[in-house]
C-alpha cells in the first residue's frame, strides 16, 4: 500500500458515513475511483459504481463490492434538560457506547458530545448496560431550547474515534466495517485495470448494508453482473476473550477469508482459491452454513440468481469504536479480487452444471 492508497483509506475511515447518511463518504470514494475508472455512476440512494470497460470482445462482467455505511446512532428526542435520547443505526453495541465521545452531524456542522456514564462512585452495584434507547448524549446544552439551536431530531451520530497506528502494521478505527471493503473494491478495480483485465470489471460501494442489505439489492438488480464478490469484514477470533465455542480458524494477518457454503457460489470459490494459489496470496477458509451476513446475501437472488461470493477481511472487535485490522490483509484481499477479475473470462459462465 503506497502513500496515496493509505491516504485514501484514512480519509474513508475518518469520514462519517452512518447508514442512510453515506453521501460524504461516497463522495470520497467517487473522487478516488474517478482517477482510473472509465466511468462512474451513482444511484438514487447513493450507491456508487466504477467501471473498467475491458475488451469488448469478452462478454464477461465481474463485480467487486463493499458497503459504505457504518453503524452509529440517531437523535430520537431532545429532553427538557437538553440531553439527547438516541436510537441505534444498525447493530450498535450497548456495552461499548457509554462514556464515549460522539459527534452529532447536524445541518449546521458537527456538534461534539459524550454518551453519559454515571461515575462508578454513584452507581448501585454492578448495574447492567442500558439499552441504547435508554442512554443519552450530553452536548453541554442547558435546556431543550439551547439543544435545539444545535441539533435536530433525526441527526445522525457517530463515535469520534480516529485511525490509530498499532504495532506490526495494524490499525484501529471505527467504521473499518466496512470502509475497508470499499477501499478494496476500488483498489481491486485499479489493479485489474492496470493488469489489462479483459472482462468488464465493476467496483461497487453500496449504501445501507447495516440496516438490511438495501443497497446491495438495488445494485444486484441494476448492474446484473455475471459474478459478484462482496468484500466485508469477518470475525478474527484470535483474541484471548473469545469463547471456545465461538473460536474459528480466522486470524489477523493470515490473508483473505474465502467463504464456503450457502450463498457462496462453488465456481467462485474455485476461482478464488485458484487465483490465490497462482498469485501466492495466502488465504483462509470459512464455513457459511446458512448465510454470509454480507451484501452477497442481497445480490445473489436478484434476476434469477447472480453467482456471488463473500471474501472476508479478518477484523477484531467488530461493531466497536476500536476495530483492528492488519493493513497487509487489506492489500492481500485487493490482490486476490484483482486476480479473480483478471481470470473471470476464463471461468465464465459461472452456472452450476447439473
17 and 136 in a common domain: no
Give the residue ranges of the annotated binding site for Zn(2+).
67, 177, 210, 232, 319
Q: Is residue 46 part of a domain?
A: yes
Query: Is residue 127 pLDDT above 80, yes or no?
Result: no
Of 112, 134, 159, the residue that ends a domain is 159
Confidence of residue 252 (pLDDT cuts 50, 70, 90): very high
In three-state secondary structure terms, 64 is strand
**CATH code for the domain of 282:** 3.40.630.10
Q: Is residue 354 part of a domain?
A: no
Q: What percent of the chain has pLDDT over 90?
A: 93
317 and 281 in a common domain: yes
Give Cα separations from 193 to 90, 276, 329, 333, 340 (angstroms). 34, 18, 21, 16, 12
Least confident of 58-62, 230-234, 247-251: 247-251
Q: What percent of the chain has pLDDT over 70?
A: 99
Cβ-in-10-Å burial (0-12, 13-18, 19+) of 14 comes to middle
Q: How many domains does the chain have?
A: 2
User: DSSP assignment, residue 245?
Assistant: G
267 and 291 in a common domain: yes
Confidence of residue 180 (pLDDT cuts 50, 70, 90): very high
326 and 179 in a common domain: yes
Closest CA to 99 of 110, 88, 113, 85: 113
314 and 236 in a common domain: yes
- What's the mean pLDDT when you consider all of the chain? 96
Q: Is residue 353 part of a domain?
A: no
Q: Is residue 169 part of a domain?
A: no
Q: Is residue 87 part of a domain?
A: yes
Overall pTM surpassing 0.85 (yes/no): yes
340 and 217 in a common domain: yes
Of 159, 189, 209, the residue that ends a domain is 159
126 and 271 in a common domain: no
The strands making up 164-165's β-sheet, listed across from edge to edge, are 164-165, 170-173, 323-326
pLDDT in the model for residue 243: 73
Alpha-carbon gap, residue 300 to 306, rounded angstroms: 5
- In this prediction, residues 200-213 reach a mean pLDDT of 98
pLDDT in the model for residue 27: 98
Interaxial angle between packed helices 23-33 and 176-194, expressed in degrees from 0 to 180 and rounded to the nearest 10:
20
Q: Is residue 164 part of a domain?
A: no
pLDDT in the model for residue 275: 98
The number of beta carbons lying within 10 Å of the beta carbon of residue 76 is: 14
Alpha-carbon gap, residue 120 to 312, rounded angstroms: 39
Alpha-carbon gap, residue 319 to 337, rounded angstroms: 25
- In this prediction, residues 101-128 reach a mean pLDDT of 92
- Among candidate residues 22, 61, 187, 209, the one labeled active-site is 209
**CATH code for the domain of 148:** 2.40.30.40
Query: Is residue 247 pLDDT above 70, yes or no?
Result: no
63 and 90 in a common domain: no
260 and 124 in a common domain: no
Say whether 164 is catalytic. no
Q: Which has more pLDDT, 351 or 101? A: 101
Confidence of residue 128 (pLDDT cuts 50, 70, 90): confident
Q: Is residue 214 part of a domain?
A: yes
In three-state secondary structure terms, 35 is coil
In tens, the pLDDT along 81-108 reads: 999 999 999 999 999 999 999 999 999 9
pLDDT in the model for residue 125: 73
Confidence of residue 350 (pLDDT cuts 50, 70, 90): very high
Q: Is residue 352 part of a domain?
A: no
Which residues form the domain of 114?
Answer: 73-159
323 and 210 in a common domain: yes
332 and 246 in a common domain: yes
In tens, the pLDDT along 133-173 reads: 999 999 999 999 999 999 999 999 999 999 999 999 999 99
Of 159, 183, 198, the residue that ends a domain is 159
118 and 51 in a common domain: no
Amino acid at each position: 500500500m503506497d502513500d496515496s492508497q493509505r491516504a485514501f483509506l484514512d480519509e474513508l475511515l475518518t469520514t462519517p458515513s452512518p447508514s442512510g447518511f453515506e453521501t460524504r463518504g461516497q463522495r470520497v470514494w467517487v473522487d478516488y475511483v474517478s482517477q482510473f475508472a472509465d466511468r462512474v455512476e451513482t444511484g438514487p440512494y447513493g450507491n456508487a459504481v466504477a467501471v473498467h470497460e475491458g475488451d469488448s470482445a469478452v462478454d464477461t462482467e465481474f463485480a467487486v463490492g463493499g458497503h459504505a455505511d457504518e453503524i452509529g446512532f440517531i437523535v430520537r428526542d431532545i429532553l427538557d434538560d437538553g440531553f439527547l435520547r438516541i436510537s441505534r443505526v444498525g447493530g450498535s453495541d450497548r456495552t461499548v457506547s457509554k462514556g464515549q465521545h460522539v459527534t452529532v452531524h447536524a445541518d449546521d456542522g458537527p456538534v461534539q458530545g459524550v454518551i453519559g456514564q454515571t461515575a462508578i462512585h454513584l452507581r448501585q452495584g454492578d448495574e447492567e448496560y442500558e439499552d441504547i434507547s435508554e442512554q443519552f448524549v450530553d452536548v453541554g446544552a442547558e435546556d431543550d431550547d439551547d439543544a435545539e439551536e444545535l441539533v435536530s431530531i433525526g441527526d445522525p451520530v457517530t463515535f469520534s474515534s480516529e485511525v490509530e497506528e498499532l504495532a506490526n502494521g495494524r490499525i484501529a478505527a471505527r467504521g473499518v466495517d466496512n470502509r475497508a471493503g470499499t477501499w478494496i473494491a476500488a483498489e481491486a478495480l485499479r489493479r485489474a485495470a492496470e493488469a489489462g483485465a479483459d472482462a468488464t470489471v465493476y467496483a461497487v460501494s453500496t449504501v445501507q448494508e447495516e440496516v438490511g442489505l438495501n443497497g446491495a439489492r438495488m445494485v444486484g438488480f441494476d448492474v446484473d453482473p455475471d459474478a459478484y464478490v462482496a468484500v466485508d469484514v469477518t470475525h478474527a477470533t484470535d483474541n484471548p476473550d473469545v469463547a471456545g465455542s465461538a473460536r474459528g480458524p480466522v486470524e489477523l494477518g493470515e490473508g483473505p477469508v474465502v467463504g464456503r457454503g450457502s450463498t457462496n457460489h462453488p465456481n467462485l470459490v474455485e476461482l478464488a482459491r485458484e487465483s490465490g494459489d497462482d498469485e501466492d496470496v495466502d488465504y483462509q477458509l470459512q464455513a457459511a452454513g446458512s448465510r454470509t451476513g454480507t451484501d452477497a446475501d442481497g445480490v445473489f437472488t436478484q434476476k434469477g440468481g447472480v453467482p456471488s461470493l463473500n471474501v472476508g477481511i479478518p477484523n477484531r472487535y467488530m461493531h466497536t469504536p476500536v476495530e483492528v485490522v492488519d493493513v497487509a490483509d487489506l492489500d492481500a484481499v485487493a490482490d486476490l479480487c484483482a486476480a479473480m477479475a483478471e481470470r473471470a473470462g476464463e471461468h465464465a459462465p459461472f452456472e452450476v452444471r447439473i
